Structure 1
Amino acid sequence: MEYYVANNGSDCGPGTKERPFQTISKAALAAMPGDVVTVHEGVYREWVKPRFKGLSNKRRITYQAAEGEKVVIKGSERITSWRNVDGNVWKVTIPNSFFGDYNPYELEVFGDWLVSTETRHLGDVYLNGMSFYEANSLEELEDPKIRTEVMDSWTKKVTSVPSPEQTKYVWFAKVDENQTTIYANFQGADPNEEFVEINVRRSCFYPLETGIDYITVRGFEMAQAATPWAPPTGDQPGLLGPNWSKGWIIEDNIIHDAKCSALSIGKEATTGNNYCSIRKDKPGYQYQLEAVFSAERAGWSKEKIGSHIVRNNVIYDCGQNGIVGHLGGVFSEIYHNHIYNIALKREFYGHEIAGIKLHAAIDVQIHDNRIHNCSLGLWLDWEAQGTRVSRNLFYQNNRDFFVEVSHGPYIVDHNILASKYSIDNVSQGGAYVNNLICGRMNHRKEMERSTQYHLPHSTKVAGFSFVYGGDDRFYNNIFVGEDSAEGVGTAHYDGYTTSLEEYIEEVHKVPGDAESFNLVEQPVYIDHNMYLGSANAFKKEETNRINHDFHADVKIIETEDDEVYLSCELPEDFEIFAGKIYTTAALPRVRIVDAEYECPDGNDVSLDIDLGDNKKKGDGVVGPAAEMKSKKNYIKIW
């Protein structure tokens, strides 16, 4: 059956094409497995909470915008009753009942791994779609000099700062037992004449219950939700998400202005909810260990959780994450998404911020995404096992890619990492193949936090390990050190062994057990890479090309038509320096996990599809795109 929703409909009607419902929420109370909910053009200010689940991929419930029509779901309300206080400052007083049991102007940004020292709330004010900044006091809101001094002090602490033009738009709220008063500096605009909205609801499309499986959400714009801080040790609601379910398809949506996280494929509260911050009796690390086992006891498995598809979405202007998830995103596929302007507003700061931030991304395939102008592009944290990061475009991020306390096997292939800071590697068991890497690389061990690894293609825990450093593979990459940049290349592996046999021999020269393994550097497998400019090679690499005098002049060029091109120059011998196609058989197995590099279904992997989605035949050039050539290149990459 197909239900219809339109602004001029009625929730007392049958939801037919002739007599549509007025709200999507009403349709969500009626839609059963196999049904479709089609929503016509308009703005819907509601939190849609799907009640029933689909039963399989063939019997899913689909929520879709009518073809060719703009459908917007907002977590905000428009306010037109502002009163002028003084000059540019206006105020509005709202009864607390307006917010129900969730008042964003009373609720703080709070939780584990948050390190901000200033109190921030989940509310926000929007002038013609532009979000404001929260002031620390009414005096700061009223006095531009105080605000300037605060911002000058604050901007010294961060590497990417907001526009001074935007930061002068500020709000402050007072909440008492009965009412909420919001003050805002509109810088000369009349808020009753302009379009002014405030955050009201936590989410736009998110079930209250877990296990609401096989839902499709397609073609909507969703915005302005008061989403809370979403750490891996807490409940992780987003503006949109499945809430610990299986088999959602989230596609062709525009998602923006989530206070914290836009799209969540993460955990729920019963497996731990900010206990470190509330109880303060154990570190967050310990509670995160416990969360994994709590989830396993609660049925965390491929049969019940994950296997989502997130594709063709545009996600931007969010305070914490574009996509977030711990445990709940296993076996998912995330591709063809455009994610930008994440965590650049910098109202608060913590350790869980990125364009995409995933914990336990077991067998998750992240490919063909465009991620730029983010505090951090992609952060894989804990249990990146069977994860593949392929054919993505990273640029103008503070950092492009961070993989932390994982043990592999994970694959990073045919990506462009074009920011000045490309890779933070605090893991082991990675295979980096056919990438263009243009920025600094940081590599370190982690010998104080032992984290889980799993049976291949499973959520079952197989063991724990520290990160010893190494056990990484680098083949067919182009490293570009522009402007004498330091830390680009593979030289930080100097001193590591180069085979498992050599490693074992060195370890057993000293009698002992665990302490002997701590004394020897794990093997690394590094060959057939190109190093340009200030990039430096691993001393034991047998076959490479090094040209410290060559200036590649790498540029990522965006056009007015939202196309993106790679412009660069490559040495004259570039095409002669061919590299082979790497497969499971050619990638040495991972030591700690004792596992092979495979596809999620257990079949052998072949890294034979380039950045342009072209299948490579035989030996090809190094780097991400098969059409790269000597001298000048101008290649469409998005």
Structure 2
Amino acid sequence: MKTLQIVFIALMTIFTLNAEATEYHVSVNGNDNNKGTAAEPFKTISAAAKIARAGDIITVHDGIYRERVNPIYGGANHLNRIVYQAAPGEKVTIKGSEIITNWKKEKGSVWKVVIPNSFFKAYNPYSDVLMGDWFNKKGMDHHTGEVFINGKSLYEKSNLNDVIESKPYEEALDQEASTHTWYSEVDANNTTIYANFQKFNPNKELVEINARESCFYPDQPGINYITVRGFTMNQAATQWSAPTAEQVGLIGTHWSKGWIIENNIVSNSKSVGITLGKDRSTGHNVWMYNPKKGGATHYNEVVFKALQIGWSKEIIGSHIVRNNVIFDCEQAGIVGSLGGIFSEISNNHIYDIWTKRIFRGAEIAGLKFHAPIDMLIKNNQIHNTGRGIWLDWMTQGTRVTGNLIYDNTTDDIHVEVNHGPYLVDNNIFLSELAIRDWSQGGAYAHNLIAGKIEVRHSTGRNTAYFLPHSTKVAGVSEIYCGDNRFFNNIFIKDENGEESEQEKENQSYGLHGYKIAKYANISSGNSYLNGAKPQEGETNFVEKTNLKPTIKITKKDHHVFLEMDLDPSIFNVSTSIITTELLGATFISEAVFENPDGTPYVLDTDFLGNERDKNKPSPGPFENLKKGLTLYNVGK
């Protein structure tokens, strides 16, 4: 009886909150002294953010809003959240920049503008130097500020002479774009910006500069259950997001729980597009300020400080980031250190990350997560990001499934110092280096792997593992590599791929590089084509040394196709449906491969959602392989 009373009270509370919910409206033609109704809308999103409570909706109408939204309040739970949404069918843009006019000719194609420091109020991106743990400035100071012409960012230089010369930057992916440059000087009163616009007259074009460190980010942690939906957000002066620092993104959750970030277009962040990261109280660039200790030691200390303040599923994470388009960010599309636990990252299109390459560091990727415990990374398209997915430290209970990853210059997926279990299934990896494995305890099933695998062990770092589906530390261990499962994958050596004597020790096409691993792998049902090789002792596999299949990405009518000519008749190998029972438990963490709710894995559908043959599923990501050259619709 008492249980029924509790349920009744909870339901009545939900109904009461919903009944009192208010929809606030925002319009560029409104006034912040208005009531926020459809007839009398606010002018800024920030005005609505100051008063919205659990259950309320903030609907923003067509226009450009140059502000940083700082949510003051959060929702109560998943059913009573605060929703920030673009009005259906209307284009709503939030910018971290301001328009700059009145440029004066300096020399040749170089122009100059002098801006009073008061213009920037409390934060001047042109005096804020980009810095942080694991950041490499490559010989010059970089600032969080940026200059844009017609939406395209210019390349920062360290002095005026370099701006005048504006030689192409040799590492930039777009050489012509790298001749459009800028440099700034800040004194006690003014900020002076010099920019080489080449053929453009800045007074006849749209020129903008970064003026805010974010577009949507709460000052305080613990602002829970927020939905951000349908916006275009761009041009923010974001600082480098190290895993040992507060991670401030163009949009970020700031150590909160239960956000939904969906259907947004996020671009032109100096560093990161979306952050699900940690707070400042557990450390902020601690290695930079105390280099006597190693970075790994510092990060372990950060983890334990987070545990001391309550890092757990009850108060952190469980976010959903889906259906977003993220591009033109110089560090990462999405990052999260500790704060992304139990989250879903799905159906996002992430591309053109780290294309300028004027700085570098150990946090650059399309997706970069530390401690993605029980995280689902599903159906994302990631390309031209340097590195596709980077799962770094404490990857446990994580599933990476149905992702299309290609045209990355570093690798498609890097798993670093993890003990597992984690599952990588039904993915398409097409870059020259497909998998960089510096971990143990992973399972790889039904993937198409058309690139090398790098194997590394004994990194000298002891990292934590946890009780299943928890942040409670069970122990720490070094990495010795291996203890992986490889079932029903297709490995293909690139037609032009070569293995030098130097590379043979740690990079190879197929699994034979795992001979250096301390722990044995389990492998079965795999296919090796065009010179890719099985691991030593593998018995149940197909090897077609001289088969050179076509594997190519093509685009047509806003769709992405995989062009492939694999004849299904070649796969004369014994396979079975991949299940939790088959995968077993990892050696170090002693945890089984299973869903976050404890139910078993059953991999009975393919990349496209087709049902697999229960008796003999096809190797690779597609169940219904067609004979001859075939186009598979794999994305938008």
For the criterion TM > 0.5, the same-fold answer is yes
Deviation string 1:445-484 (CA, Å, 9 cap, x unpaired) is: 0341010111100011110011111101101000010225
Matched, 1:378 2:389: yes
Letter in 1 for 2:529: L
1:106 aligns with 127
Runs of 5+ consecutive residues of structure 1 not aligned to the other structure: 156-160, 497-520
- Distance in 2 (CA, whole Å) between partners of 1:588 and 1:537 is 22
For the Cα contact (< 8 Å) 1:577–1:621, is it kept in 2? no
User: Residue 586 of structure 1 aligns to which amino acid in structure 2?
Assistant: L
Aligned mates of 2:277, 2:54 — CA distance in 1: 24
On the 8 A contact 2:316/2:341 being kept in 1, the answer is: yes
Query: Once the 2 structures are TM-superposed, how far is the Cα of residue 284 of structure 1 from its aligned partner?
Result: 1.5
User: Structure 2, unaligned stretches of length 5 or more?
Assistant: 1-21, 500-507
State the partner residue of 1:194: 205
Query: Is 1:135 matched with 2:126?
Result: no
After the TM superposition, which residues 213-612 of structure 1 pair with which residues of structure 2 at under 5 Å, given as runs?
Answer: 213-398=224-409, 399-485=411-497, 486=499, 487-494=508-515, 521-559=518-556, 561-571=557-567, 573-574=569-570, 576-577=572-573, 579-612=575-608
Once residues 608 and 132 of structure 2 are traced to their aligned partners in structure 1, the CA distance between those partners, rounded to angstroms, is: 41
Q: Displacement, 1:493?
A: 2.1
Q: What are the Cα deviations for residues 230-260 of structure 1, in whole angstroms up to 9, with x where unaligned?
A: 0101111100011100000000000000000
Partners of 1:624 and 1:188 in 2: how far apart?
48
Distance 1:341 1:564 in 2: 16
Cα deviation for residue 279 of structure 1 reads 2.8
Cα offset, 1:495, TM superposition: 6.8
Whole-angstrom CA distance in 2 between matches of 1:39 and 1:594? 49
Structure 1 residues 378 and 495, CA gap change in structure 2 (3 angstroms):
closer
Q: Flag the 1:337–1:572 CA change in 2: closer, same or farther, 3 A.
A: closer
Deviation beyond 4 Å, 4+ runs, structure 1: none
One-letter code aligned to 2:24: Y
Deviates more, 1:332-341 or 1:185-194: 185-194
- State the one-letter code of the partner of 1:635: Y
How many residues are treated as equivalent by the alignment?
602
Partner of residue 21, structure 1: 42
- Aligned letter for 2:575? G
Residues 271-310 of structure 1, C-alpha deviation per residue, up to 9 Å, x if partnerless? Answer: 1101111232312211100010010011100000000000
**RMSD of equivalent CA atoms:** 1.2
2:174/2:355 contact within 8 Å kept: no
Q: Is the 8 A contact 2:567 2:625 kept in 1?
A: no
Q: TM-score, normalised by structure 2?
A: 0.93
Match of 2:53?
32
Q: Structure 1 length normalisation: TM-score?
A: 0.93
Letter in 1 for 2:482: G
1:42-191 mapped onto 2 (5 Å cutoff): 42-116=63-137, 117-144=139-166, 147-148=167-168, 151-152=169-170, 155=171, 161-191=172-202
Q: CA deviation at 1:613?
A: 1.8
The answer as to whether partners of 2:586 and 2:592 remain within 8 angstroms in 1 is yes
Query: Distance between the aligned counterparts of 1:80 and 1:484, measured in 2?
Result: 51
How far residue 219 of structure 1 moved from its aligned partner, in angstroms, is 0.1
Q: Equivalents in 2 of 1:342, 1:270: separation in Å?
A: 29
User: What is the distance in 1 between the residues matched to 2:303 and 2:509?
Assistant: 35
Residues 132 and 241 of structure 2 are in contact (CA less than 8 Å); yes or no, is this contact kept in structure 1? yes
Q: Distance in 2 between matches of 1:196 and 1:341?
A: 21
1:319 and 1:347 in contact (8 A); partners too: no
SS in 2 for 1:269: coil
Quote the residue 2:611 is aligned against. 615
Greater alpha carbon shift after TM alignment, 280-289 vs 324-333? 280-289
Determine if contact 2:277/2:339 at 8 Å carries over to the other structure.
Answer: yes
| Residue-by-residue CA offset, 1:294-345 (whole Å, 9 max, x unaligned) | 1001110000000000000000000000000100000000000000001111
Q: Which residue type is aligned with residue 34 of structure 2? A: G
Q: Say if 1:85 and 1:91, in contact at 8 Å, map to a contact too.
A: yes
Aligned mates of 2:207, 2:355 — CA distance in 1: 22
Find the aligned partners of 2:569 and 2:580 in 1 and give their Cα distance: 29
By how many angstroms is 1:622 displaced? 0.6
| Contact preservation (8 Å) 2:527, 2:571 | no
Verify the 8 A CA contact 1:478 1:622 in the aligned structure 2: yes
* Residue identity opposite 2:45 in structure 1: I
